[in-house]
A and B are shown apart, each in its own frame.
Chain A
Amino acid sequence: MTLRLENVSRVVGAETHIHPTTLTLEKGTINLLLGPTLSGKTSLMRLMAGLDRPTAGRITMDGVDVTGLPVRERNVAMVYQQFINYPSMTVYENIASPLRVKGAPKAEIHRKVMEAAALLRLESQLDKTPLQLSGGQQQRTAIARAIVKGAGLVLLDEPLANLDYKLREELRVELPRIFDKTGAIFVYATTEPTEALLLGGNTATLREGRITQFGPTVDVYRRPDDRATAEIFSDPPMNFARMAIRGGQMSLGQVLNRPATGPLAALAEGDYWLGFRPHHVTLGAESPHAIRVSATVAVTEITGSESFIHVDVGAERWIALVPGVVEYLPETVIDIHLDPDRFFVFGTDGRLAAAPTGAAAA
């Protein structure tokens, strides 16, 4: 099954929730919608599901136009961020519900429910009602119901966001395994870049109702088309600095002025945005090309195994993510090192002008 959106847009009142979007999703793939809150992930999913009608554009499934088809006649399943189950039914009946509506034979219903329950480790909970379960089990029930239907399109709208850390890790590991067995198109919305990278597949990055880039997750991460994509796909956020290239010299305002080397050498003269990931900012020089910059510490956050050092350099605020516990008092002046081999360069229009190659982009 192939799902295709052609110039699909949705406007509600004076607000445009989704700008015209064209997207093709193939059978048996995991597709991530990555973007901050209110970027249009849920709106896009609701259009795919048929819960909302697009204002303009066409949606086809296997070439068949389904744009106006009501959701109950479509072959879709959906899991919400909130744990949505039927509170008045047992877990068994919850999972069986889509099959019962279809009028499947009793034996088949039983077999499929038991299969899904085994896959999601719910066997011992089948006689309980959803509200007697933990959050993780409630969400498993919702996922089981989505899987048992055998839908060609399964939409998961931040399914793990309301779970605690441990359960989230656990389910995140299990999900790809569950996905693989069904051969459906999976669409998975998340706000977390890490989650997208862990799940793999394809990623569409969204900002303000627009898809900024769509492609294999790793490619989107390593070669973002524009600044917006790079910002969305970086956690903590990517650091940026205004950069000017003049006569073979790169300069970051008053901070830095040096020959444009490495990937910067090929750039035309002009103004650019320089981007680099927080974990590529190091305290010591880790490469012979490393550029030393003097910075003032604003605040340090320590997570246990890593430290986030927020520093002011000229007018810019950057974040350095360094291993181990490193603590500086605010206002301390320290040296940080940037690796020009890991620089992303964007034009003032936001388009990518130069990117690191291969593993240096990670």
Chain B
Amino acid sequence: MRLRSLILTLYLVFLTLPIYWLMNMSFKNNSEITNQGLTLYPREFTLKNYINIFTDPAWYMGYVDSLIYVALNTLISISVALPAAYAFSRYRFLGDKHLFFWFLTNRMAPPAVFALPFFNLYSAVGLFDTHWAVALAHTIFNVPLAIWILEGFMSGVPREIDETAFIDGYSFPRFFVKIFVPLIASGIGVAAFFCFMFSWVELLLARTLTNNMPISSIMTRTASSAGMDWGQLAAAGVLTLVPGALVIWFVRNYIAKGFALGRV
């Protein structure tokens, strides 16, 4: 029993240490980080790094821009995936299983493969350096994933519920919005979470298709001729974790089912 808690404690420390160290650094000034060696907590506690991020538009607009394209992407992915997943879950049509699998194979390609064609295409149609550019590019990975997750959740709803609604006289759109969507609400939450996370951490496409828009690429600005601004970088890193942590909190009860693509 004691061994078990000991091992668990060690594991937890191991997991949280990098996050703790990031937070620790974000409250230090640069001289403490570079000169004083190992300090387990900030000797001179400072909020300077955070204040800097929230007052400098170059910094905080990075978050705003990232959040805009992430939200756009999540919205597009879910609204496209909902009808697609319904079709896969409820109808049999020619090649449905192959199509379903082919969707997922899209995720097997590395984003770098798509970077150049997207860059070329978006420059040509004037989408370069817009939120839409990144949001649309990310759908190539997020729509298949959302379809897979939602299909699993939808197949858990008996088909007879659809039929009962039609017998009751519901039109398809009304049934979908009023009856079906509430039944798979948790699935939509989980799918949205996965879309959000992918889009939030994806760097290569976001950076290629914009002029330094994603927050992670803005962080590289901290390197200057005067050296690295370590404290600033750490504070930006902590703030990058926050949206993900918030989203996880909302779907925490369904996340395991989501990882199994709704097939639990």
A residues sitting closer than 8 Å to B (CB atoms) are: 49, 51, 70-72, 76-78, 80, 82, 84-89, 97-98, 101-102, 142, 145, 149
Contact = CB atoms under 8 A, between A and B. Distances in A.
Interface string B141-173: 000000000000000001011011111111100
Given A72-B167, A72-B168, A88-B183, 7 more contacts: A51-B166, A72-B169, A72-B170, A82-B158, A85-B164, A101-B168, A101-B170
Contacts of B166: 51, 70-72
B169 A80 contact: no
B158 to A, nearest CB: 6
Contact of A80 (B160, B174, B179): B160
Contact of A145 (B160, B168, B179, B183): B168
A97 B182 contact: no
10 contacts: A51-B163, A72-B166, A72-B168, A78-B167, A82-B158, A84-B161, A101-B168, A101-B170, A102-B169, A142-B164
B168 A98 contact: yes
B171 A84 contact: no
B169 to A, nearest CB: 4
Nearest to A146: B167
A49 B183 contact: no
B164 A149 contact: no
Contacts of A86: 161, 164-165, 179
A100 to B, nearest CB: 9
Contacts of B160: 80, 82, 84
Given A80-B160, A82-B158, A82-B160, A88 B179 contact: yes
B158 A78 contact: no
A98 B169 contact: yes
A102 B182 CA distance: 21
B164 A72 contact: no
* Residue in B160, B161, B166, B168 with the greatest tally of chain A CB atoms within 10 Å: B168
Contacts of B165: 86
A76 B158 contact: no
Contacts of A101: 168-170, 174
B180 to A, nearest CB: 10
B167 A49 contact: yes
A49 B174 CA distance: 20
A288 B174 CA distance: 70
Contacts of B174: 101
Nearest to A76: B167
Contacts of A49: 167
Interface string B100-126: 000000000000000000000000000
A84 B169 contact: no
A87 B168 contact: no
Contacts of B167: 49, 51, 71-72, 76-78
Contact of B163 (A78, A89, A97, A142): A78
B8 to A, nearest CB: 36
6 shortest interchain CB distances as A-B pairs? A88-B182, A98-B168, A101-B169, A84-B160, A80-B160, A71-B166
A82 B158 CA distance: 9
Contacts of A77: 167
A347 to B, nearest CB: 42
A142 B167 CA distance: 12
Most B CB contacts (10 A, CB to CB) among A49, A70, A85, A86 go to A86
Contacts of A85: 164
Contacts of B179: 86, 88-89
A108 to B, nearest CB: 16
A78 B164 contact: yes
Contact of B171 (A72, A76, A142): A72
A82 B160 CA distance: 9
Contacts of A145: 164, 168
A142 B183 CA distance: 18
Interface centre among B161, B167, B179, by most chain A C-beta atoms within 10 angstroms, is B167
B185 to A, nearest CB: 8
A161 to B, nearest CB: 14
Nearest to A151: B167
B170 A71 contact: no
A98 B160 CA distance: 15
A97 B158 contact: no
Interface in B196-228: none
B167 to A, nearest CB: 5
B154 to A, nearest CB: 14
Contacts of B164: 78, 80, 84-86, 142, 145
Contacts of B158: 82, 84
A97 B166 CA distance: 11
B125 to A, nearest CB: 41
Contacts of A80: 160, 164
Contacts of A84: 158, 160-161, 164
Interface in B228-249: none
Contact of B183 (A71, A82, A87, A102): A87
Interface in B26-55: none
Contacts of A102: 169
A86 B174 CA distance: 14
Nearest to B164: A84
A49 B179 CA distance: 21
B184 to A, nearest CB: 10
Interface in B173-199: 174, 179, 182-183
